[in-house]
Amino acid sequence: MAEPILELADVRYRYPTGPEALRGVTFSVAAGERVGLVGPNGAGKSTLLLAIAGFVAAAGTIRLAGHTLSRRTVRDVRRHLGLVFQDPDDQLFMPRVGDDVAFGPATMGLAAEEVHARVHEALEAVQLEGYEGRAPYHLSVGEKRRAALATVLAMRPQVLAMDEPSANLDPRGRRRLIGLLKGLPGTILVVGHDLDLILDVCSRTVVMDAGRVVADGPAAEILGDRGLMESHGLELPLSLAPRG
């Protein structure tokens, strides 16, 4: 088993005006592993992603790529974490797609030649070659999703984390995204309700409910457990549901 690249120990967080969203979350992700994080609405999945990225100040220990998250190390942690938000418009804010993809590498102080190379590499990885001059608001939802992914891949993160990556995609766009994710190297953490996507992309699944981890194991075993799924407000993936 590879060494953990992401370690969470007793991670807790309460929103200032709401209930406790994370209640002692503990699990680790090995380098190169692909993990799906599932659960009903309000389980704490998206909050956990924000905590890992340091956008919410959670208690407990979060360690990523050798850095223990704190106010002092948050920038180091974010350099190794590629977080793709559910709404691609949150990550596409420049006049052209190429500018959006170049933004991260440029802020790292890389030479112009290296920035250009990374833009080309990232757009090629998401099958958007030649889109550098396109305006993001002229893209389809699927193209926006892939462009947002390219902005993160250009940073060459050690851990790629995605929140509801198939949201609002049509069947063709969804199939294309699944193919892309299956072909990407490295460590991937996918949060979502699209259990068939997670079954296709991830070898392991962690189930959260009410801010806690309630199950963790091989994706097919966890997602195929009808009793477990139903007890936590979930259903079997369509590909595992009985027919007839």
> Where residue 19 falls among pLDDT bands split at 50, 70, 90?
confident
Q: Give the phi and the psi of residue 83 in degrees, each rounded to 5.
A: -105, 120
CA dihedral 101, 102, 105, 111 (to 10 degrees): 150
Angstrom distance (rounded) from CA 172 to CA 154: 25
Q: Report pLDDT for 17.
A: 84
What is the percent of the chain where pLDDT is above 70?
99
How many residues make up the chain in this entry? 244
For residues 183-205, give the mean pLDDT. 95
Q: Report pLDDT for 232.
A: 96
> Does 89 score more than 60 pLDDT?
yes
Q: Report pLDDT for 129.
A: 95
For residues 160-176, give the mean pLDDT. 93
Q: Report pLDDT for 20.
A: 92
Q: Report pLDDT for 244.
A: 54
> Where residue 240 falls among pLDDT bands split at 50, 70, 90?
confident
> Does 1 score more than 80 pLDDT?
no
Q: Report pLDDT for 18.
A: 80
For residues 214-234, give the mean pLDDT. 96
Q: Does pTM top 0.85 for this prediction? A: yes
For residues 45-72, give the mean pLDDT. 96
pLDDT per position as a tens digit, 120-145: 999 999 999 999 999 999 999 999 99
Domain residue limits, the chain? 4-88+159-231
- Report the CATH architecture of 4-88+159-231: 3-Layer(aba) Sandwich (3.40)
